[in-house]
Amino acid sequence: MLGRQLNAVIKAVAGRVMNGMKRVFSGVQPTGSIHIGNYLGALGQFVELQEDNECLYCIVDMHAVTTPKDPKELRKNTLDVAALYLAVGIDPKKSTIFVQSEVPGHAELAWALMCNAYMGELSRMTQFKDKGRGGESTSAGLFSYPVLMASDILLYDTDIVPVGGDQKQHIELCRDIAARVNNRYGGVFKVPEGRFLRTGARIMSLDDPLSKMSKSAVNPLSSISLLDDGPKIRKAVMRATTDSGGEIRFDAENKPGISNLLNIYSAFSGASVAEIEKKYRGAGYGTFKNELAAVVTEALTPIRTRFKEIRESGVLKEILRDGAERANEISEKTLKRVKERLGLGIA
Ligand code: ATP
Ligand code: LTN
Protein backbone atom coordinates (compact mmCIF):
# COMPACT_ATOMS: atom_id res chain seq x y z
CA MET A 1 0.00 0.00 0.00
CA LEU A 2 2.77 2.39 1.03
CA GLY A 3 4.66 1.37 -2.11
CA ARG A 4 1.65 2.20 -4.19
CA GLN A 5 1.20 5.62 -2.60
CA LEU A 6 4.88 6.39 -3.04
CA ASN A 7 4.66 5.33 -6.64
CA ALA A 8 1.69 7.61 -7.22
CA VAL A 9 3.59 10.52 -5.70
CA ILE A 10 6.62 9.83 -7.86
CA LYS A 11 4.40 9.69 -10.94
CA ALA A 12 2.61 12.91 -9.99
CA VAL A 13 5.94 14.68 -9.51
CA ALA A 14 7.25 13.20 -12.72
CA GLY A 15 4.10 14.49 -14.42
CA ARG A 16 4.88 18.01 -13.30
CA VAL A 17 8.54 17.70 -14.24
CA MET A 18 7.34 16.65 -17.64
CA ASN A 19 5.80 20.08 -18.09
CA GLY A 20 6.54 21.23 -21.58
CA MET A 21 6.19 17.70 -22.90
CA LYS A 22 3.20 16.93 -25.05
CA ARG A 23 0.46 14.83 -23.52
CA VAL A 24 -0.59 11.72 -25.45
CA PHE A 25 -3.79 9.74 -24.90
CA SER A 26 -5.16 6.68 -26.64
CA GLY A 27 -7.39 3.70 -25.94
CA VAL A 28 -8.05 0.15 -27.05
CA GLN A 29 -11.28 -1.75 -26.48
CA PRO A 30 -11.10 -5.04 -24.57
CA THR A 31 -13.27 -6.78 -27.13
CA GLY A 32 -11.16 -9.69 -28.36
CA SER A 33 -7.73 -10.56 -29.64
CA ILE A 34 -5.59 -7.63 -30.57
CA HIS A 35 -4.49 -8.07 -34.16
CA ILE A 36 -1.59 -6.80 -36.24
CA GLY A 37 -3.82 -3.97 -37.52
CA ASN A 38 -4.25 -2.66 -33.96
CA TYR A 39 -0.51 -3.10 -33.44
CA LEU A 40 0.71 -1.44 -36.63
CA GLY A 41 -1.92 1.31 -36.56
CA ALA A 42 -1.88 2.17 -32.87
CA LEU A 43 0.12 0.19 -30.27
CA GLY A 44 3.41 0.56 -32.15
CA GLN A 45 2.97 4.33 -32.01
CA PHE A 46 2.18 4.16 -28.27
CA VAL A 47 5.60 2.63 -27.58
CA GLU A 48 7.47 5.12 -29.74
CA LEU A 49 5.71 8.15 -28.26
CA GLN A 50 6.40 7.28 -24.62
CA GLU A 51 10.07 8.22 -25.01
CA ASP A 52 9.48 11.98 -25.42
CA ASN A 53 5.92 12.59 -24.18
CA GLU A 54 3.70 12.15 -21.17
CA CYS A 55 1.52 9.24 -22.24
CA LEU A 56 -1.74 7.84 -20.92
CA TYR A 57 -2.90 4.54 -22.38
CA CYS A 58 -6.37 3.40 -21.49
CA ILE A 59 -8.32 0.17 -21.80
CA VAL A 60 -11.73 1.49 -22.77
CA ASP A 61 -14.06 -1.06 -21.19
CA MET A 62 -17.03 1.36 -21.13
CA HIS A 63 -16.84 1.47 -24.94
CA ALA A 64 -16.92 -2.33 -24.99
CA VAL A 65 -20.31 -2.50 -23.23
CA THR A 66 -22.06 -0.43 -25.91
CA THR A 67 -23.09 -3.88 -27.09
CA PRO A 68 -23.78 -6.58 -24.45
CA LYS A 69 -20.70 -8.48 -23.27
CA ASP A 70 -20.20 -11.51 -21.08
CA PRO A 71 -19.01 -9.96 -17.75
CA LYS A 72 -16.36 -12.62 -17.01
CA GLU A 73 -15.00 -12.47 -20.50
CA LEU A 74 -14.90 -8.66 -20.43
CA ARG A 75 -12.76 -8.64 -17.28
CA LYS A 76 -10.44 -11.27 -18.75
CA ASN A 77 -10.11 -9.27 -21.96
CA THR A 78 -9.37 -6.11 -19.96
CA LEU A 79 -6.40 -7.78 -18.25
CA ASP A 80 -5.31 -9.32 -21.56
CA VAL A 81 -5.12 -5.89 -23.20
CA ALA A 82 -3.20 -4.54 -20.20
CA ALA A 83 -0.74 -7.45 -20.49
CA LEU A 84 -0.39 -6.83 -24.21
CA TYR A 85 0.31 -3.15 -23.62
CA LEU A 86 3.25 -4.22 -21.46
CA ALA A 87 4.28 -7.05 -23.80
CA VAL A 88 4.62 -4.75 -26.82
CA GLY A 89 6.88 -2.46 -24.78
CA ILE A 90 4.74 0.12 -23.00
CA ASP A 91 6.64 0.79 -19.80
CA PRO A 92 4.52 1.61 -16.72
CA LYS A 93 7.43 3.70 -15.39
CA LYS A 94 7.14 5.98 -18.40
CA SER A 95 3.44 5.74 -19.27
CA THR A 96 0.21 5.67 -17.28
CA ILE A 97 -1.79 2.53 -18.03
CA PHE A 98 -5.33 2.32 -16.67
CA VAL A 99 -8.89 1.10 -17.16
CA GLN A 100 -11.51 3.65 -18.24
CA SER A 101 -14.26 2.61 -15.79
CA GLU A 102 -11.84 3.07 -12.86
CA VAL A 103 -11.88 6.83 -13.53
CA PRO A 104 -15.40 8.25 -13.02
CA GLY A 105 -14.51 11.48 -14.81
CA HIS A 106 -14.90 9.82 -18.23
CA ALA A 107 -18.65 9.32 -17.75
CA GLU A 108 -19.11 12.64 -15.98
CA LEU A 109 -17.47 14.70 -18.70
CA ALA A 110 -19.25 12.65 -21.39
CA TRP A 111 -22.57 14.03 -20.15
CA ALA A 112 -21.44 17.65 -20.52
CA LEU A 113 -20.15 16.86 -24.01
CA MET A 114 -23.30 14.97 -24.95
CA CYS A 115 -25.23 18.18 -24.32
CA ASN A 116 -22.96 19.93 -26.81
CA ALA A 117 -22.96 17.24 -29.53
CA TYR A 118 -25.58 17.16 -32.26
CA MET A 119 -27.78 14.20 -33.27
CA GLY A 120 -27.03 15.10 -36.90
CA GLU A 121 -23.26 14.87 -36.58
CA LEU A 122 -23.47 11.60 -34.63
CA SER A 123 -25.79 10.14 -37.29
CA ARG A 124 -23.12 10.83 -39.90
CA MET A 125 -20.40 8.75 -38.20
CA THR A 126 -19.52 6.13 -40.81
CA GLN A 127 -18.34 3.50 -38.32
CA PHE A 128 -21.79 3.51 -36.73
CA LYS A 129 -23.45 3.27 -40.13
CA ASP A 130 -20.99 0.58 -41.37
CA LYS A 131 -21.97 -1.62 -38.47
CA GLY A 132 -25.48 -1.55 -39.91
CA ARG A 133 -26.88 -0.17 -36.67
CA GLY A 134 -29.48 2.51 -36.24
CA GLY A 135 -32.59 0.37 -35.73
CA GLU A 136 -35.13 0.71 -32.92
CA SER A 137 -33.15 -1.48 -30.53
CA THR A 138 -29.69 0.04 -31.05
CA SER A 139 -28.39 1.17 -27.66
CA ALA A 140 -28.13 4.91 -27.04
CA GLY A 141 -24.58 4.10 -25.84
CA LEU A 142 -23.54 2.79 -29.24
CA PHE A 143 -24.98 5.87 -30.94
CA SER A 144 -23.20 8.27 -28.60
CA TYR A 145 -19.98 6.22 -28.42
CA PRO A 146 -17.89 8.91 -30.21
CA VAL A 147 -18.86 11.43 -27.51
CA LEU A 148 -17.46 9.13 -24.81
CA MET A 149 -14.31 8.89 -26.93
CA ALA A 150 -14.14 12.70 -27.08
CA SER A 151 -14.52 12.74 -23.29
CA ASP A 152 -11.60 10.27 -22.90
CA ILE A 153 -9.39 12.59 -24.90
CA LEU A 154 -10.48 16.01 -23.59
CA LEU A 155 -10.42 14.91 -19.95
CA TYR A 156 -6.61 14.88 -20.03
CA ASP A 157 -5.92 18.09 -21.98
CA THR A 158 -4.50 15.80 -24.63
CA ASP A 159 -2.23 17.16 -27.36
CA ILE A 160 -1.80 14.02 -29.49
CA VAL A 161 -4.02 10.99 -30.13
CA PRO A 162 -2.21 8.12 -31.88
CA VAL A 163 -4.81 5.96 -33.67
CA GLY A 164 -5.47 3.96 -36.83
CA GLY A 165 -6.94 5.66 -39.89
CA ASP A 166 -10.44 4.32 -39.11
CA GLN A 167 -10.64 6.80 -36.21
CA LYS A 168 -10.09 9.97 -38.27
CA GLN A 169 -13.77 10.91 -38.27
CA HIS A 170 -14.06 10.39 -34.51
CA ILE A 171 -11.03 12.62 -33.88
CA GLU A 172 -12.54 15.32 -36.10
CA LEU A 173 -15.78 15.12 -34.12
CA CYS A 174 -13.84 15.45 -30.87
CA ARG A 175 -12.11 18.55 -32.21
CA ASP A 176 -15.44 20.03 -33.35
CA ILE A 177 -17.08 19.46 -29.97
CA ALA A 178 -14.07 20.93 -28.14
CA ALA A 179 -14.08 24.03 -30.37
CA ARG A 180 -17.85 24.43 -29.92
CA VAL A 181 -17.64 24.26 -26.12
CA ASN A 182 -14.68 26.67 -26.18
CA ASN A 183 -16.76 29.06 -28.26
CA ARG A 184 -19.80 28.83 -26.01
CA TYR A 185 -18.11 28.96 -22.64
CA GLY A 186 -14.66 30.42 -23.34
CA GLY A 187 -11.42 28.42 -23.51
CA VAL A 188 -12.38 25.18 -21.76
CA PHE A 189 -10.51 22.47 -23.70
CA LYS A 190 -7.26 21.94 -25.48
CA VAL A 191 -8.07 20.95 -29.09
CA PRO A 192 -6.13 17.71 -29.80
CA GLU A 193 -4.49 16.42 -32.98
CA GLY A 194 -4.79 12.87 -34.31
CA ARG A 195 -1.59 11.03 -35.24
CA PHE A 196 -1.88 8.52 -38.06
CA LEU A 197 0.94 6.49 -39.55
CA ARG A 198 1.55 6.21 -43.26
CA THR A 199 2.21 2.47 -43.48
CA GLY A 200 0.18 0.94 -40.65
CA ALA A 201 -2.83 3.26 -40.58
CA ARG A 202 -5.13 0.83 -42.33
CA ILE A 203 -4.26 -2.86 -42.38
CA MET A 204 -6.82 -4.74 -44.39
CA SER A 205 -8.45 -8.09 -43.79
CA LEU A 206 -6.50 -11.05 -45.22
CA ASP A 207 -9.55 -12.67 -46.79
CA ASP A 208 -11.12 -9.44 -48.03
CA PRO A 209 -8.55 -6.73 -48.73
CA LEU A 210 -11.31 -4.18 -49.27
CA SER A 211 -12.40 -4.17 -45.63
CA LYS A 212 -10.21 -3.41 -42.62
CA MET A 213 -8.72 -6.14 -40.46
CA SER A 214 -11.14 -6.43 -37.57
CA LYS A 215 -11.38 -8.09 -34.16
CA SER A 216 -14.99 -8.90 -34.74
CA ALA A 217 -14.55 -10.73 -38.08
CA VAL A 218 -15.99 -14.24 -38.21
CA ASN A 219 -13.23 -15.94 -40.19
CA PRO A 220 -10.22 -16.51 -37.86
CA LEU A 221 -7.92 -16.53 -40.90
CA SER A 222 -8.92 -12.99 -41.85
CA SER A 223 -6.59 -11.54 -39.23
CA ILE A 224 -3.38 -12.31 -37.36
CA SER A 225 -3.60 -11.93 -33.60
CA LEU A 226 -0.53 -10.73 -31.70
CA LEU A 227 -0.77 -14.01 -29.79
CA ASP A 228 -0.89 -16.35 -32.81
CA ASP A 229 1.89 -18.91 -33.11
CA GLY A 230 4.04 -19.62 -36.19
CA PRO A 231 1.78 -22.28 -37.79
CA LYS A 232 -1.37 -20.11 -37.43
CA ILE A 233 0.44 -17.10 -38.88
CA ARG A 234 1.74 -19.17 -41.81
CA LYS A 235 -1.72 -20.59 -42.51
CA ALA A 236 -3.35 -17.14 -42.50
CA VAL A 237 -0.66 -15.60 -44.73
CA MET A 238 -0.59 -18.49 -47.22
CA ARG A 239 -4.39 -18.36 -47.55
CA ALA A 240 -4.52 -14.56 -47.86
CA THR A 241 -6.41 -13.39 -50.92
CA THR A 242 -4.06 -12.25 -53.65
CA ASP A 243 -4.81 -10.73 -57.02
CA SER A 244 -4.64 -12.02 -60.56
CA GLY A 245 -1.24 -11.59 -62.20
CA GLY A 246 1.66 -13.00 -60.18
CA GLU A 247 3.63 -9.78 -59.88
CA ILE A 248 4.67 -8.47 -56.46
CA ARG A 249 3.93 -4.81 -56.98
CA PHE A 250 2.16 -2.16 -54.87
CA ASP A 251 -1.03 -0.96 -56.50
CA ALA A 252 -3.72 -0.39 -53.88
CA GLU A 253 -6.46 0.05 -56.46
CA ASN A 254 -5.84 -2.87 -58.81
CA LYS A 255 -3.92 -5.21 -56.50
CA PRO A 256 -5.37 -4.55 -53.01
CA GLY A 257 -4.46 -8.03 -51.66
CA ILE A 258 -0.77 -7.99 -52.49
CA SER A 259 -0.53 -4.28 -51.60
CA ASN A 260 -1.85 -5.03 -48.11
CA LEU A 261 0.72 -7.82 -47.69
CA LEU A 262 3.48 -5.48 -48.89
CA ASN A 263 2.38 -2.94 -46.28
CA ILE A 264 2.49 -5.58 -43.53
CA TYR A 265 5.92 -6.79 -44.69
CA SER A 266 7.22 -3.23 -44.76
CA ALA A 267 5.86 -2.33 -41.32
CA PHE A 268 7.31 -5.42 -39.64
CA SER A 269 10.68 -5.49 -41.43
CA GLY A 270 11.39 -1.76 -41.56
CA ALA A 271 12.21 -2.08 -45.30
CA SER A 272 10.43 0.27 -47.70
CA VAL A 273 7.81 -1.08 -50.09
CA ALA A 274 10.11 -0.21 -53.03
CA GLU A 275 12.94 -2.28 -51.50
CA ILE A 276 10.62 -5.24 -51.00
CA GLU A 277 9.28 -5.01 -54.56
CA LYS A 278 12.87 -5.04 -55.79
CA LYS A 279 13.78 -8.03 -53.63
CA TYR A 280 10.89 -10.11 -54.99
CA ARG A 281 11.05 -9.03 -58.63
CA GLY A 282 10.48 -12.19 -60.70
CA ALA A 283 9.56 -14.29 -57.61
CA GLY A 284 6.10 -15.86 -57.17
CA TYR A 285 3.43 -15.16 -54.55
CA GLY A 286 4.35 -18.45 -52.78
CA THR A 287 7.95 -17.39 -52.07
CA PHE A 288 6.88 -13.90 -50.99
CA LYS A 289 4.16 -15.18 -48.66
CA ASN A 290 6.47 -17.78 -47.12
CA GLU A 291 9.01 -15.13 -46.23
CA LEU A 292 6.33 -12.71 -45.04
CA ALA A 293 5.07 -15.40 -42.62
CA ALA A 294 8.63 -15.75 -41.27
CA VAL A 295 9.01 -11.97 -40.83
CA VAL A 296 5.70 -11.68 -38.93
CA THR A 297 6.44 -14.76 -36.79
CA GLU A 298 9.84 -13.40 -35.82
CA ALA A 299 8.32 -10.08 -34.76
CA LEU A 300 5.42 -11.59 -32.78
CA THR A 301 7.16 -14.46 -30.97
CA PRO A 302 8.82 -12.28 -28.27
CA ILE A 303 5.52 -10.44 -27.70
CA ARG A 304 3.71 -13.75 -27.16
CA THR A 305 6.39 -14.95 -24.74
CA ARG A 306 6.32 -11.71 -22.72
CA PHE A 307 2.51 -11.71 -22.67
CA LYS A 308 2.46 -15.16 -21.03
CA GLU A 309 5.04 -14.15 -18.42
CA ILE A 310 3.20 -10.92 -17.55
CA ARG A 311 -0.23 -12.55 -17.44
CA GLU A 312 1.07 -15.16 -14.98
CA SER A 313 3.12 -12.76 -12.85
CA GLY A 314 0.29 -11.03 -10.92
CA VAL A 315 1.68 -7.49 -11.44
CA LEU A 316 -1.12 -6.20 -13.61
CA LYS A 317 -3.72 -5.08 -11.08
CA GLU A 318 -1.18 -3.08 -9.10
CA ILE A 319 -0.02 -1.29 -12.26
CA LEU A 320 -3.63 -0.57 -13.25
CA ARG A 321 -4.48 0.78 -9.77
CA ASP A 322 -1.47 3.09 -9.83
CA GLY A 323 -2.44 4.20 -13.32
CA ALA A 324 -6.03 4.97 -12.30
CA GLU A 325 -4.77 7.01 -9.34
CA ARG A 326 -2.65 9.20 -11.62
CA ALA A 327 -5.43 9.46 -14.24
CA ASN A 328 -7.96 10.45 -11.57
CA GLU A 329 -5.64 13.17 -10.34
CA ILE A 330 -5.44 14.79 -13.79
CA SER A 331 -9.11 14.26 -14.60
CA GLU A 332 -10.34 15.90 -11.39
CA LYS A 333 -8.56 19.13 -12.33
CA THR A 334 -10.17 19.20 -15.77
CA LEU A 335 -13.61 18.44 -14.35
CA LYS A 336 -13.30 21.25 -11.83
CA ARG A 337 -12.53 23.67 -14.65
CA VAL A 338 -15.38 22.37 -16.83
CA LYS A 339 -17.92 22.64 -14.01
CA GLU A 340 -16.81 26.18 -13.23
CA ARG A 341 -17.10 27.29 -16.86
CA LEU A 342 -20.47 25.62 -17.39
CA GLY A 343 -21.86 26.77 -14.06
CA LEU A 344 -22.44 23.27 -12.73
CA GLY A 345 -22.46 22.70 -8.97
CA ILE A 346 -22.12 25.32 -6.22
CA ALA A 347 -18.38 26.18 -6.39
P1 ATP B 1 -12.19 -3.99 -34.55
O2 ATP B 1 -13.00 -3.21 -35.53
O3 ATP B 1 -10.99 -4.62 -35.14
O4 ATP B 1 -12.99 -4.88 -33.65
P5 ATP B 1 -11.73 -1.63 -33.17
O6 ATP B 1 -11.59 -0.62 -34.26
O7 ATP B 1 -12.94 -1.70 -32.39
O8 ATP B 1 -11.41 -3.07 -33.66
P9 ATP B 1 -9.97 -0.90 -31.04
O10 ATP B 1 -9.50 -1.95 -30.15
O11 ATP B 1 -10.85 0.09 -30.45
O12 ATP B 1 -10.45 -1.58 -32.34
O13 ATP B 1 -8.79 -0.18 -31.77
C14 ATP B 1 -7.55 0.04 -31.21
C15 ATP B 1 -6.72 0.83 -32.20
O16 ATP B 1 -6.41 0.04 -33.34
C17 ATP B 1 -7.42 2.09 -32.75
O18 ATP B 1 -6.48 3.15 -32.73
C19 ATP B 1 -7.79 1.73 -34.16
O20 ATP B 1 -7.78 2.86 -35.01
C21 ATP B 1 -6.66 0.78 -34.53
N22 ATP B 1 -7.06 -0.16 -35.59
C23 ATP B 1 -8.11 -1.02 -35.56
N24 ATP B 1 -8.16 -1.75 -36.69
C25 ATP B 1 -7.11 -1.33 -37.46
C26 ATP B 1 -6.60 -1.71 -38.76
N27 ATP B 1 -7.18 -2.67 -39.45
N28 ATP B 1 -5.51 -1.08 -39.24
C29 ATP B 1 -4.87 -0.12 -38.51
N30 ATP B 1 -5.30 0.29 -37.28
C31 ATP B 1 -6.39 -0.31 -36.75
N1 LTN C 1 -13.03 4.42 -30.61
C2 LTN C 1 -11.76 3.77 -30.62
C3 LTN C 1 -11.28 3.37 -29.23
C4 LTN C 1 -11.18 4.55 -28.35
C5 LTN C 1 -10.17 5.57 -28.37
C6 LTN C 1 -10.53 6.49 -27.33
C7 LTN C 1 -9.06 5.79 -29.16
C8 LTN C 1 -12.05 4.90 -27.35
N9 LTN C 1 -11.65 6.03 -26.73
C10 LTN C 1 -9.76 7.63 -27.10
C11 LTN C 1 -8.30 6.96 -28.90
C12 LTN C 1 -8.65 7.85 -27.91
C13 LTN C 1 -11.87 2.55 -31.53
O14 LTN C 1 -12.92 2.02 -31.71
N15 LTN C 1 -10.78 2.13 -32.06
Q: What is the predicted pLDDT for the residue at 135? A: 75
Is the Cβ atom of 324 under 6 angstroms away from ligand 2?
A: no
Q: What is the predicted pLDDT for the residue at 16? A: 43
The answer to whether residue 209 sits within a structural domain is no
> Is 224 found in the same domain as 164?
no
d(CA 211, ligand 2 centre) in Å: 19
The answer to whether residue 207 sits within a structural domain is no
Q: What is the predicted pLDDT for the residue at 245? A: 84
The answer to whether residue 212 sits within a structural domain is no
Q: Which ligand is nearest to the CA of 142?
A: 2
> Is 39 found in the same domain as 101?
yes
The answer to whether residue 208 sits within a structural domain is no
Q: What is the predicted pLDDT for the residue at 13? A: 41
> Is 239 found in the same domain as 185?
no
The answer to whether residue 325 sits within a structural domain is yes
Q: Which ligand is nearest to the CA of 161?
A: 2
User: In CATH, what number is assigned to the domain containing residue 274?
Assistant: 1.10.240.10
Q: What is the predicted pLDDT for the residue at 218? A: 85
> Is 248 found in the same domain as 179?
no
Distance between CA atoms of residues 345 and 347, nearest Å? 6
Query: How many domains does the chain contain in total?
Result: 2
Separation in Å, CA 278 to CA 10, 275, 291: 51, 5, 14
> Is 244 found in the same domain as 154?
no
User: In CATH, what number is assigned to the domain containing residue 8?
Assistant: 3.40.50.620
> Is 274 found in the same domain as 169?
no
Is the Cβ atom of 60 under 6 angstroms away from ligand 2?
A: yes
Domain limits at 49?
A: 2-201+314-342
> Is 246 found in the same domain as 158?
no
Is the Cβ atom of 113 under 6 angstroms away from ligand 1?
A: no
The residue ranges of the chain whose pLDDT is under 50 are 1-2, 6, 9, 12-13, 16-17
The answer to whether residue 144 sits within a structural domain is yes
d(CA 172, ligand 2 centre) in Å: 13
Query: Using CA positions, which residue lies closest to atom 9 of ligand 2?
Result: 149
Query: Using CA positions, which residue lies closest to atom 25 of ligand 1?
Result: 37
Which residues are 58's β-sheet partners?
A: 27, 98
Q: What is the predicted pLDDT for the residue at 95? A: 98
> Is 244 found in the same domain as 179?
no
Is the Cβ atom of 192 under 6 angstroms away from ligand 1?
A: no
Distance between CA atoms of residues 10 and 196, nearest Å? 31
The answer to whether residue 213 sits within a structural domain is no
pTM: 0.93
> Is 240 found in the same domain as 164?
no
> Is 239 found in the same domain as 93?
no
Is the Cβ atom of 41 under 6 angstroms away from ligand 2?
A: no
The answer to whether residue 347 sits within a structural domain is no
> Is 187 found in the same domain as 332?
yes
Query: Using CA positions, which residue lies closest to atom 20 of ligand 1?
Result: 164
Closest ligand 2 atom, CA of 145?
1
> Is 333 found in the same domain as 188?
yes
